[in-house]
């Protein structure tokens, strides 16, 4: 049995914390954050569309579950 894929809306961005934000002030080299890159624009679009529809599906599941409880 396969695990359900976890979708996220900000898959191109890094996760920030207060310590990382404070540490970035002292970063002189200018490349403090690593972002998720795609090899082509098409690949980036495909990832974005898949994640968008995946999030919509997750929202629909929650709504159906909530409605069926009532």
How much is the pLDDT for 6? 75
Q: For residue 9, what are the CA distances in angstroms to 14, 33, 48?
A: 12, 18, 8
Rounded to two decimals, the pTM is 0.55
How much is the pLDDT for 9? 67
How much is the pLDDT for 64? 94
Q: pLDDT tens digit string along 9-66?
A: 666 666 666 766 666 677 666 665 666 678 898 998 898 888 889 999 999 999 999 8
Evaluate if residue 8 carries a pLDDT over 60.
yes
């Amino acid at each position: 049995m396969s695990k359900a894929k976890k979708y996220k809306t900000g898959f191109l961005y890094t996760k920030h914390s207060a310590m990382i934000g404070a540490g970035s002030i002292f970063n002189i080299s200018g490349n403090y954050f690593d972002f998720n890159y795609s090899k082509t624009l098409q690949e980036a679009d495909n990832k974005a569309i898949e994640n968008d529809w995946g999030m919509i599906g997750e929202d629909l599941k929650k709504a159906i579950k909530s409605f069926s409880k009532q």
